[in-house]
């Protein structure tokens, strides 16, 4: 991959995070006490195709579609860091616990099932959406999800750990697809 292409993707990534932060700020009053990174991600994923007239959502969707999945975990990392620092204004960190690792494992199971079933590596955002959808719509992992959604520090730690694990497992494969102009897997 050439330098111009890498710069283009870096610019899109930063611009995408800026757009997600702006979207987050707009949603803050809608969620009150349950406002967190995951509620923003879930809201975006739910509304992306429902609200075709929302130019802001369509702009975010276009950026996601133009950005190879390889960069999505970087976008998520930057988004959750900025969300914590700029929106929640909470610098305190949650300890790494057994429950954090359990949820991380469940998220990775979703990713690997998705990969096996559809023969492509999912975006890290797709994995989070599937996990939330499974819990909210179908009652899967109800206790974990309840705690995850009610504790923003815990949620932040889970998301950070999941980003790290996802990158550890998938970054080499995804990087190859970007640099070799290949399709997935």
Minimal CA–CA distance to 182: which of 114, 123, 121, 111? Answer: 121
Structure tokens at 41: 């991600």
Percent of the chain past pLDDT 90, that is, above it, reads 58
Q: What is the mean pLDDT of residues 85-94?
A: 82
Asked if pLDDT for residue 3 goes beyond 80, the answer is no
* 101-138 per-residue burial string, b: 16 or more CB within 10 A, e: under 16: eebbebbbebbeebbeeeeebbbbbbbbbbbbebbeee
pLDDT, position 1: 55
pLDDT, position 184: 44
pLDDT, position 42: 92
pLDDT, position 182: 47
Give the model's confidence band at 83: pLDDT under 50 very low, under 70 low, under 90 confident, else very high.
very high
In the block, residue with structure tokens 């070799």 = 180
pLDDT, position 29: 79
Please indicate whether residue 135 or residue 75 has the higher confidence score (pLDDT): 75
- Cα(23)–Cα(123) distance, rounded to whole angstroms? 20
Percent of the chain past pLDDT 70, that is, above it, reads 94
Q: What is the mean pLDDT of residues 53-82?
A: 93
The pairs formed by 15-19 with CB atoms below 8 angstroms and a separation of 24 or more are 15/63, 16/60, 16/63, 16/64, 16/67, 16/75, 17/75, 17/78, 17/79, 17/82, 19/56, 19/59, 19/60, 19/63
């Amino acid at each position: 991959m050439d330098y111009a292409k890498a710069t283009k993707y870096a610019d899109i990534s930063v611009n995408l995070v800026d757009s997600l932060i702006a979207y987050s700020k707009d949603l803050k009053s809608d969620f009150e006490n349950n406002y967190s990174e995951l509620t923003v991600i879930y809201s975006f994923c739910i509304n992306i195709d429902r609200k075709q007239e929302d130019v802001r959502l369509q702009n975010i969707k276009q950026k996601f579609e133009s950005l190879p999945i390889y960069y999505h975990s970087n976008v998520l990392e930057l988004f959750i860091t900025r969300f914590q620092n700029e929106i929640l204004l909470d610098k305190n960190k949650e300890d790494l616990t057994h429950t954090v690792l359990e949820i991380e494992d469940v998220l990775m199971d979703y990713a690997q099932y998705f990969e096996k079933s559809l023969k492509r590596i999912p975006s890290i955002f797709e994995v989070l959406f599937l996990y939330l959808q499974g819990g909210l719509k179908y009652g899967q992992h109800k206790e974990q999800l309840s705690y995850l959604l009610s504790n923003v520090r815990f949620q932040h730690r889970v998301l950070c750990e999941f980003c790290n694990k996802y990158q550890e497992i998938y970054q080499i494969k995804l990087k190859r697809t970007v640099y070799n102009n290949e399709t997935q897997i």
